[in-house]
Amino acid sequence: MDINPDATRAAARRIATRKRRLTVLVMLSPWLIGFVVFTLYPILNSLYWSFTVKRYGAPARWIGLKNYELLLGNDDLAQALKNTAYLAAIGLPIRIGIAMLCASLLARPRRGNGTYRLLFYVPSIVPAVASGALFFFLLKEGGPVSSLFRLFDAEAPLWFGDPAWAKPALIMVGTWALGDLMLIFLAGLVDIPKSLYEAAEIDGAGRWAKFRHVTLPMISPVTFFTLLTGMIGVLQSFDQAFVFSQGVRRGRLTGEPDGALLTYAMLQLRHFQDGRIGFASAMAWVMFLITLAITLVMLATRRRWVHTANEKLL
Amino acid sequence: MTVRRVLLLIGRHSVLIGLAVMFALPFFFMLLQSVMPLQQAKTTALWPGHFEWSNYSRVFDRIPLATYVVNSLKVCALTVTGTVLSCVPVAYAFSHLQWKGRNVAFVFVLSTMMLPFQVLFVTQYQIFSELGWLNSILPLTVPAFFADAFSIFLLRQFFLTLPGETLDAARVDGASELTVLRKVVIPMAKPGIMAVALFQFLGSWGDFFGPNIYLKDENSLTLAVGLVRLNSAVARLGESNLTMAASVIFVAPLLVIFFFAQKVFIEGVTLTGSKG
Interval B152-171 mean pLDDT = 91
Same domain, yes or no, for A123 and A207? yes
A138 to B26: CB separation less than 8 angstroms, yes or no: yes
- What's residue B114's pLDDT? 87
> Is pLDDT at B107 greater than 80 in this prediction?
yes
Distance CA B159, CA A250 (A): 47
Confidence bin at A100 (pLDDT 50/70/90):
very high
Dihedral sign, Cα of residue A3, residue A4, residue A10, residue A11: negative
Interval B32-45 mean pLDDT = 83
Same domain, yes or no, for A112 and A11? no
Same domain, yes or no, for A257 and A225? yes
Please enumerate in sequence order all residues whose Cβ is within 8 A of that of B171, keeping only pairs 6 or more positions apart, or say none: B177, B180
Report the 10 Å Cβ neighbour count for B150. Answer: 17
> Is pLDDT at A200 greater than 80 in this prediction?
yes
Range from A175-184, B38-47, B213-222 carrying the lowest mean pLDDT:
B38-47
E strands, chain B, are none
**CA–CA min distance B77, chain A (Å):** 18
Q: Which of residues 132-191 of A touch B (CB under 8 A)?
A: 132-138, 140, 142-144, 146-147, 150, 176, 183-184, 187-188, 190-191
Percent of all residues in chain A with a pLDDT value above 90, rounded to a whole number:
38
- What's residue A255's pLDDT? 73
Please calculate the CA angle A153-A154-A157 and round it to the nearest 5 degrees: 150
Same domain, yes or no, for A39 and A70? no
- List the CATH number of the domain containing A70: 1.10.3720.10
- What's residue B101's pLDDT? 92
> Is pLDDT at B103 greater than 90 in this prediction?
yes
- What's residue B273's pLDDT? 46
Cα B168 from chain centroid?
35
> Is pLDDT at A22 greater than 60 in this prediction?
yes
Report if residue A75 sits inside a domain: yes
B265 to A33: CB separation less than 8 angstroms, yes or no: no
Interval A54-82 mean pLDDT = 89
- Domain chopping of chain B, boundaries: 3-54, 64-267
Interval B155-161 mean pLDDT = 91
Interval A10-30 mean pLDDT = 90
> Is pLDDT at B245 greater than 80 in this prediction?
yes
Distance CA A246, CA A265 (A): 15
Same domain, yes or no, for A36 and A121? no
Alpha helices in A41-143 (DSSP H): 41-49, 66-72, 75-86, 92-106, 113-121, 128-139
Selecting from B33, B122, B124 the residue whose C-beta is nearest the C-beta of A277 gives: B122
The answer to whether B84 and B247 are in contact (CB under 8 A) is no
Report if residue A170 sits inside a domain: yes
- What's residue B246's pLDDT? 92
Distance CA B186, CA B178 (A): 11
B116 to A288: CB separation less than 8 angstroms, yes or no: yes
Closest B-chain CA to A282: B119
Interval A71-99 mean pLDDT = 92
Nearest to B228 by CA among A270, A129, A251: A129
Confidence bin at A252 (pLDDT 50/70/90):
low
Domain count, chain A: 2
Q: Does A116 touch chain B (CB under 8 A)?
A: yes
Report phi then psi at A92, rounded to 5.
-65, -50
- What's residue A310's pLDDT? 47
The answer to whether B74 and B137 are in contact (CB under 8 A) is yes
Range of the domain at A254: 66-305
B269 to A183: CB separation less than 8 angstroms, yes or no: yes
> Is pLDDT at B83 greater than 90 in this prediction?
yes
Confidence bin at B87 (pLDDT 50/70/90):
very high
> Is pLDDT at A314 greater than 50 in this prediction?
no
B126 to A56: CB separation less than 8 angstroms, yes or no: yes
Confidence bin at A285 (pLDDT 50/70/90):
very high
Q: Which residues does chain B have within 8 Å of residue A126's beta carbon, measured at their own beta carbons? A: 206, 251, 254
**Comparison of pLDDT for B148 and A307, the residue scoring more:** B148
Same domain, yes or no, for A300 and A236? yes
A312 to B272: CB separation less than 8 angstroms, yes or no: yes
Distance CA A160, CA B99 (A): 55
Distance CA B40, CA B58 (A): 16
Report phi then psi at A10, rounded to 5.
-60, -40
Selecting from A33, A125, A239 the residue whose C-beta is nearest the C-beta of B146 gives: A33
Exposure string of A199-229, with b = 16+ CB inside 10 Å and e = fewer, is ebeeeebeeeebeeebbebbbbbbbbbbbbb
**CA–CA min distance A162, chain B (Å):** 17
Please enumerate in sequence order all residues whose Cβ is within 8 A of that of B205, keeping only pairs 6 or more positions apart, or say none: A127, B72, B76, B223, B224, B253, B254
Tell the CATH topology of B64-267: MetI-like fold (1.10.3720)
Interval B126-154 mean pLDDT = 94
- What's residue B156's pLDDT? 94
Distance CA A100, CA A90 (A): 16
> Is pLDDT at B274 greater than 50 in this prediction?
no
Q: Does A292 touch chain B (CB under 8 A)?
A: yes
> Is pLDDT at A146 greater than 90 in this prediction?
no
Q: Which residues does chain B have within 8 Å of residue A120's beta carbon, measured at their own beta carbons? A: 19-20, 23
The answer to whether B241 and B35 are in contact (CB under 8 A) is yes
- What's residue B1's pLDDT? 59
Same domain, yes or no, for A102 and A133? yes
- What's residue A113's pLDDT? 84
A42 to B122: CB separation less than 8 angstroms, yes or no: yes
Element (H, E) at A53: strand A52-53
- What's residue A1's pLDDT? 54
Same domain, yes or no, for A70 and A44? no
A129 to B123: CB separation less than 8 angstroms, yes or no: no
Say which amino acid occupies A199: A
Bridge partners (DSSP) listed for residue A61: A53
- What's residue A297's pLDDT? 92
Interval A17-45 mean pLDDT = 94
B20 to A34: CB separation less than 8 angstroms, yes or no: no
**Comparison of pLDDT for A232 and A36, the residue scoring more:** A36
Same domain, yes or no, for A39 and A94? no
B16 to A287: CB separation less than 8 angstroms, yes or no: no
A49 to B123: CB separation less than 8 angstroms, yes or no: yes
Report if residue A311 sits inside a domain: no
Distance CA A35, CA B90 (A): 12
Provide the mean pLDDT of chain A: 87
Distance CA B36, CA B52 (A): 6
B120 to A176: CB separation less than 8 angstroms, yes or no: no
Same domain, yes or no, for A33 and A152? no
Interval A213-240 mean pLDDT = 89
Report if residue A313 sits inside a domain: no
> Is pLDDT at A3 greater than 70 in this prediction?
no
**CA–CA min distance B172, chain A (Å):** 14
Interval B114-120 mean pLDDT = 89
pTM: 0.89
Q: Does A124 touch chain B (CB under 8 A)?
A: no
Q: Which of residues 256-275 of A touch B (CB under 8 A)?
A: 265, 268-269, 272-273
Same domain, yes or no, for A14 and A111? no
Interface confidence (ipTM) of the complex: 0.88
Same domain, yes or no, for A160 and A272? yes
